[in-house]
C-alpha cells in the first residue's frame, strides 16, 4: 500500500545502485576517451557509423539510425551534420518516401569506422566482456534488455509478458 512515503533503498539495493550508477558514468567516458584518442570519434559517432557500415547499401533512414545509436533524432541530426562535414556520410531524401531522409556512409566513413573498430572492440573486451564469466555476460545482456524495456516498452525484453 502506498502511503505517500518514498520506498527508500535498503543497504544492498543502495550498494547495487551506487555501483551501477558509477558504471553509467565511467563506462561511456572510457569508451569516448579511447575512441577520441585513437579515431577522433565520440562513442555516439562511432555507433552511427558502425550502424551504417552494417546496413544494406550502407544506407539507413535517419529515424532508424537514431534508434540504433540509442539517441534522439535531434541529437543524431547534429552528429550527422558533423560527420557529413568530415566526409564520412551524406544525407539524401529517401527514394521510396521523400518524407524521410537517408544517411549514407561514404567510402571515407567506412574506412574510418573500419580503422576504429579494432581498438574499440579491444576496449569493450577489456572493460566488459573479458571481465565477466560467460554466464555473467549472458545475464548482463538480459538485465540490460529488461532495464531498456522498462524505459522503452518497444525494446524487446527476454521473458517479458
Per-residue pLDDT of the chain (161 residues; tens, 9 = 90+): 567 899 999 999 999 999 999 999 999 999 999 999 999 999 999 999 999 999 999 999 998 998 888 788 888 899 999 999 999 999 999 998 889 999 999 999 999 999 999 999 999 999 999 999 999 999 999 999 999 889 888 777 766 54
Has residue 4 been placed in a domain?
Answer: no
User: Exposed (0-12), middle (13-18) or buried (19+): which is 131, by Cβ within 10 Å?
Assistant: exposed
pLDDT at 61: 93
122 occurs within a structural domain: yes
In a domain, 154, yes or no: no
Closest-CA residue to 51 (of 30, 80, 31): 80
Q: What is the DSSP code string of the chain?
A: ---S------HHHHHHHHHHHHHHHHHHHHHHHHHHHHHS--HHHHHHHHHHHHSGGGEEEHHHHHHHTTS-HHHHHHHHHHHHHTTSEEEEE-SS-TTSEEEEE-HHHHHHHHHHHHHHHHHHHHHTGGGS-HHHHHHHHHHHHHHHHHH-TTS--TT--
Whole-angstrom Cα distance, residue 68 to residue 6? 35
CATH number, residue 95 = 1.10.10.10
Q: Is 88 contained in some domain?
A: yes
Please give the span between the terminal C-alpha atoms of the chain, in angstroms, as a whole number: 24
Indicate the angle between helix axes 107-127 and 43-54, nearest 10 degrees: 120
Count of domains for the chain? 1
- The predicted model scores a pTM of 0.85
**Is 9 inside a domain boundary?**
no
Task: Print the domain residue range for 56.
Answer: 33-147
Q: Considering the domain boundaries, does residue 87 fall inside one?
A: yes
Question: What is the model's pLDDT at position 159?
Answer: 61
The answer to whether residue 20 is domain-embedded is no
Residue 2 counted as domain residue? no
Amino acid at each position: 500500500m502506498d502511503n505517500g512515503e518514498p520506498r527508500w533503498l535498503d543497504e544492498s539495493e543502495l550498494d547495487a545502485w551506487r555501483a551501477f550508477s558509477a558504471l553509467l558514468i565511467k563506462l561511456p567516458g572510457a569508451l569516448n576517451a579511447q575512441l577520441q584518442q585513437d579515431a577522433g570519434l565520440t562513442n555516439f559517432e562511432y555507433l552511427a557509423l558502425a550502424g551504417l557500415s552494417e546496413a544494406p547499401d550502407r544506407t539507413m533512414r535517419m529515424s532508424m539510425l537514431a534508434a540504433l545509436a540509442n539517441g534522439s533524432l535531434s541529437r543524431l541530426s547534429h552528429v550527422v551534420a558533423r560527420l557529413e562535414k568530415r566526409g564520412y556520410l551524406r544525407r539524401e531524401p529517401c527514394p521510396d518516401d521523400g518524407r524521410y531522409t537517408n544517411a549514407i556512409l561514404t567510402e571515407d566513413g567506412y574506412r574510418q569506422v573500419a580503422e576504429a573498430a579494432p581498438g574499440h572492440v579491444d576496449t569493450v573486451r577489456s572493460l566488459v566482456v573479458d571481465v565477466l564469466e560467460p554466464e555473467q555476460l549472458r545475464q548482463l545482456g538480459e538485465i540490460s534488455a529488461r532495464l531498456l524495456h522498462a524505459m522503452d516498452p518497444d525494446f524487446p525484453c527476454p521473458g517479458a509478458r
